[in-house]
Amino acid sequence: MNGVVHRLWPVPVLVALWEAGARAAASTYFPPPSAIAARLRELWFSGPPSRLFLSDQALQDFLPSLARMFGGWAIACAAGIALGVAVGRSSALAGYVDPIVEFGRAIPPPTLIPLFVVLFKVDVRMQVATIVYGVIWPVLVNSIDGARYVDRQHTETAQVFGLSRAQRLTRIILPAAAPKIFAGLRLSLSLALILMVVSELAGSATSGIGYELLYAQQNFDLPGMWGTIALLGVLGLLLNSSFLLVERRTLSWHRRARQTN
């Protein structure tokens, strides 16, 4: 607890400086943090304490956004890991697929949004498709890498003791590749947040955090815009730290094994 206090003391100082600076400048474009906080509360956080102060509006905005984000991310993770492990375990297949992967990940995902709009029409499917396309690459590339470089002694041990194909996959290859795969999953989670916002800003979304951002812009609601941006920052921080927590627990063997060697 002491460590957290010690680490985070600059936060209130910076907020206070920002508040003083913004009040002194008195610009419409740069509202003070107190005004932003008040607007945020009004927008989303006036609900009952039992619901973490989330208002109905907050549920209406956050849930669809998060559902699309996690949905797209989950699809990309499943597809990326399955494809990546298959490609990583076969050097022939990898030769055929590598250039396609290199090129596919170089295409900026937002450039495909107009295409997805034509292909899928339905808003949600377009948004999920954008997220899937944008976030699958880190998972795929890391899974290929992780599965490709499984220690040969591990696979030979599995062969000598006659493990079946399924056992080799679930007991040896996936755990051995897990540290790499997790790194890809974490990177793609932060990309999923970005693409969630992009797809909501680009499409004609009718709900969601990106939609609220556009709505605030149209109404010249600057505290609302600053608030939404801050909210996205907090959301990104939360996503990353909770994923790190899961990663640390799942891969504790990896961290501790490396410390002892």
| Nearest residue (CB) to other proteins, 41 versus 171 | 171
> Given the rule CB under 8 A, which of 33-41, 43-51, 57-65, 183-191 is the region that contacts other proteins?
183-191
Task: Report in angstroms how near the CB of residue 247 gets to other proteins at its nearest.
Answer: 14
Task: Report in angstroms how near the CB of residue 50 gets to other proteins at its nearest.
Answer: 27
Applying the rule CB under 8 A, the residues between 32 and 71 that interact with other proteins are none
Using CB under 8 A, which of 63, 151, 242, 246 touches other proteins?
151
Applying the rule CB under 8 A, the residues between 94 and 123 that interact with other proteins are 95-100, 102-104, 106-115, 117-119
> Given the rule CB under 8 A, which of 10-18, 39-47, 48-56, 74-82 is the region that contacts other proteins?
10-18
> Given the rule CB under 8 A, which of 40-48, 55-63, 77-85, 175-183 is the region that contacts other proteins?
175-183
- Number of residues lying near other proteins (CB under 8 A): 82
Using CB under 8 A, which of 38, 190, 207, 243 touches other proteins?
190
| Nearest residue (CB) to other proteins, 78 versus 244 | 244
What is the distance between the alpha carbons of residues 47 and 30, in angstroms, rounded to a whole number?
27
- Residue 68 near residue 116, CB atoms below 8 Å: no
> Given the rule CB under 8 A, which of 39-47, 52-60, 65-73, 158-166 is the region that contacts other proteins?
158-166
Applying the rule CB under 8 A, the residues between 192 and 251 that interact with other proteins are 193-194, 197-198, 201-202, 210, 213-214, 216-217, 220, 222, 225-226, 228-230, 232-237, 239-240
- Residue 144 near residue 88, CB atoms below 8 Å: yes
Task: Report in angstroms how near the CB of residue 8 gets to other proteins at its nearest.
Answer: 6
Using CB under 8 A, which of 60, 167, 219, 242 touches other proteins?
167
3-state SS, the chain, equals CHHHHHHHCHHHHHHHHHHHHHHHHCCCCCCCHHHHHHHHHHHCCCCCHHHCCCCHHHHHHHHHHHHHHHHHHHHHHHHHHHHHHHHHHCHHHHHHHHHHHHHHHHCCHHHHHHHHHHHHCCHHHHHHHHHHHHHHHHHHHHHHHHHHCCCHHHHHHHHHCCCCHHHHHHHHHHHHHHHHHHHHHHHHHHHHHHHHHHHHHHCCCCCCHHHHHHHHHHCCCHHHHHHHHHHHHHHHHHHHHHHHHHHHHHCHHHHHHHHHC
